[in-house]
Structure 1
Amino acid sequence: MLVVDDDPDVRELVAFKLTQSGDQVRAVADGPAALRAVREAKVDVVLLDVVMPGMSGLEVLRELRADPATVELRVILLTARTQEGDLEAGFSAGADDYLTKPFTLWELTERVQAVLAPTES
């Protein structure tokens, strides 16, 4: 899994919780680093902050969906933005799920499991 968030506290907490659940997790702080990480190693799901300086999570998501190598990659957007238009923008860009901050760690792990469930055999 890849956790992408410019807030180090959120990034470290999410990565720690997912690691405790037995997942292999890599965490990065921005969009360009996320794109590099996805290209360097196999990733099953990306937990992607929407609002980041420089390159937004939506821009990262659009690049992932435009690339045949990552078009099927599962992406959950993490954001404090809760307006209906924000949700529509996230799903229109290709998000598999949209989790609003603050969220519980239980909810996070449940959403990750739900997104991954269709690909498990």
Structure 2
Amino acid sequence: MSSAGVPRVVIADDDDDIRGLMQIAARRAGVEVVAAVDNGPAALDAVRAGGIDLVVLDISMPGMNGVEVAEAVRADPVASATLILMVSASVQLLTDHGVVAERSDSFIIKPFSPKVLTARIREMLGMEATV
């Protein structure tokens, strides 16, 4: 967490509108959005910079998909403790063979309500619910 104790989050989704909704939900959760990017390599770079508590990853992104980013985060000694929240429109991708379950801490299926994403972010980071 940052020196102010505010959790730091990276958001990655190649859809501008979804990324915007994710940023709104994250800010409502009371976290600092350190980076909001549209591709896997940029997400990985932002997480590897250090001090990131949670990364919200779309599965389908250019450069590297969310699963590849998650694998790289888990393999990186600096970033391996970062929590991973996967997001996808494909229920099958999220549930098949435990691929995502093994690489993430939680997942949400698109379309999602920003309210649900806000609650999930707060839950994952151990933050008290807002009224």
Equivalent position of 2:11 in the other structure: 3
| Residue among 50, 67, 70 paired with 1:58 | 67
Q: 8 Å contact 2:28–2:118 — kept in the other structure?
A: no
Could you say which residue in structure 2 is the equivalent of 1:90? 100
Q: What amino acid maps onto 1:35 in structure 2? A: L
Whole-Å separation in 2 of the counterparts to 1:40 and 1:67:
11
- For structure 2, the 5+ residue unaligned runs are 1-8
More helix by share: 1
So what's the TM-score if we normalise by structure 1?
Answer: 0.88
In the alignment, residue 32 of structure 2 is paired with which amino acid? Answer: Q
Aligned residues: 116
**Aligned 1:1-121 pairs, distance under 5 A:** 1-25=9-33, 26-83=35-92, 84-85=95-96, 88-92=98-102, 94-117=103-126
Residue 77 of structure 1 aligns with an amino acid whose one-letter code is M
- Structure 1 residue 61, shift from structure 2 partner: 0.3
The CA RMSD over aligned residues, in Å, is: 1.6
Q: Check the 8 A contact 2:29/2:122 in 1, yes or no.
A: no
The aligned amino acid for 2:71 is R
Amino acid aligned to 1:3: I
In the TM superposition, structure 1's runs of 4+ consecutive aligned residues that sit over 3 Å from their partners are none
How far did 1:21 drift? 3.6
TM-score (norm 2): 0.81
Instruction: Tell me the SS of whatever aligns to 2:51.
Output: coil
In 2, Cα distance between equivalents of 1:44 and 1:13: 19
Q: 1:41 Cα shift?
A: 4.3
Give unmatched runs, 5+ long, in structure 1: none
